[in-house]
């Protein structure tokens, strides 16, 4: 069975690489192990661009009033560039996405792009696509929850990407849920320079990473903020949200104790919003990504 799977995978490789594998492929245990090691070394990127958006106006700040981002089929960000040429999510991989924890039952689901996913999701459905907006629906494999994301380009100034997440309840009863939006903030050109260090902090409703004016990474002294917008809807007195930073690139375990940090100066890190909501039929929260 494993041999058949490898043969099928080899068949789908580019021609030149396929010839190389066929030349070396035998049934011996030694060659089987070598092939497994080679396959493990081939990089696999989950955060593949599917829906791209660009907003541009002249004269807002250095580089112009510019924003470009792309959304994957799963509804995570494949990149975020603002201002022009300043890329602050995708540097050798885009670590961005969402997580759900159903409290009580301890059901956990997440998809953080290139950082990894929980493997218990159904395939996404494209609900709507326009020149400024994409709507993506995705259910958990067990049918307990459906996450509908509406990601909208707002041209500004300043421009930002609005992320509206509606969680639909398929459990049949009212339950409390933690809904997460996570991102690894990185300096522009970190993938080329190898310097991924910058500063990280959070407020009550926002989390962000930035490079200071005098510690610039290639002169790009900018930052990226993930910010809550408004209140959950429908709003309950038990609903609340928190903004966190973490001194790791690993996305938060939705049902785990959050791995959080205080202010980070010249280090590596990530940030996330954590919404605690009571869900009857559905609940909606809104956030945005904005350069500063």
Joined together, the tokens standing for residue 129 give 């696509």
CA distance 287 to 292: 16
* Confidence at residue 47, expressed as pLDDT on a 0 to 100 scale: 81
CA distance 171 to 226: 30
Diameter of the chain by CA atoms?
66
* Global pTM exceeds 0.85: no
Joined together, the tokens standing for residue 233 give 């809807």
* Confidence at residue 105, expressed as pLDDT on a 0 to 100 scale: 86
CA triplet 247, 240, 271: central angle to 5 degrees?
20
Alpha helices in the chain (DSSP H): 2-11, 15-24, 29-41, 190-193
* Confidence at residue 191, expressed as pLDDT on a 0 to 100 scale: 83
Instruction: Could you list the beta-strand ranges (E) of 90-212.
Output: 95-102, 107-113, 125-129, 133-139, 145-154, 160-169, 175-183, 198-202, 206-210
Cβ-proximal residues to 110 (8 Å cutoff; 6+ apart), any chain = 97, 98, 99, 100, 117, 118, 180, 251, 253, 254
- Domains of the chain are 2-41 (no CATH), 51-291 (2.70.98.40)
- The one-digit pLDDT tens for each residue of the chain (292 residues) are 333 433 444 444 444 444 333 433 334 443 333 333 333 333 345 789 999 999 987 554 554 589 999 999 999 999 999 988 899 999 999 999 999 999 988 899 999 999 999 999 999 999 999 999 999 999 999 999 999 999 999 998 889 999 999 999 999 999 999 999 999 999 888 888 888 999 999 999 999 999 887 654 555 789 999 999 999 999 888 899 999 999 999 999 999 988 899 999 999 999 999 999 999 999 999 999 999 9
CA distance 228 to 231: 8
Joined together, the tokens standing for residue 127 give 């609900």
């Amino acid at each position: 069975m494993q041999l058949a799977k490898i043969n099928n995978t080899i068949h789908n490789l580019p021609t030149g690489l396929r010839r190389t594998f066929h030349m070396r492929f035998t049934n011996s245990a030694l060659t089987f192990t070598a092939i497994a090691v080679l396959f493990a070394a081939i990089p696999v990127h989950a955060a593949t661009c599917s829906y791209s958006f660009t907003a541009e106006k002249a004269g807002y700040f250095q580089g112009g009033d510019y924003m470009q981002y792309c959304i994957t089929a799963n509804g995570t960000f494949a990149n975020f560039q603002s201002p022009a040429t300043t890329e602050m999510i995708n540097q050798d991989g885009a670590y961005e996405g969402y997580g759900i924890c159903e409290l009580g039952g301890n059901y956990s689901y997440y998809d953080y792009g290139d950082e990894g996913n929980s493997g218990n999701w159904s395939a996404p459905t494209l609900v709507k696509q326009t020149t400024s907006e994409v709507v993506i629906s995705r259910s958990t494999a067990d049918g307990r929850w459906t996450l509908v994301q509406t990601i909208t380009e707002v041209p500004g100034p300043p421009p930002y990407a609005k992320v509206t997440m509606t969680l639909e309840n398929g459990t049949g009863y009212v339950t409390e849920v933690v809904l997460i939006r996570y991102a690894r903030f990185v300096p522009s050109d970190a993938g080329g320079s190898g310097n991924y260090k910058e500063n990280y902090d959070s407020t009550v409703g926002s989390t962000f990473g930035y490079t200071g004016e005098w510690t610039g990474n290639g002169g790009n002294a900018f930052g990226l903020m993930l910010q809550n917008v408004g209140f959950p809807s429908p709003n309950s007195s038990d609903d609340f949200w928190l903004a966190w930073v973490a001194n790791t690139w690993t996305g938060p375990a939705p049902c785990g104790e959050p791995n959080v940090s205080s202010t980070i100066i010249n280090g590596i890190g990530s940030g996330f919003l954590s919404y605690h909501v009571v869900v009857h039929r559905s609940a909606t929260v809104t956030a945005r990504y904005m350069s500063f």
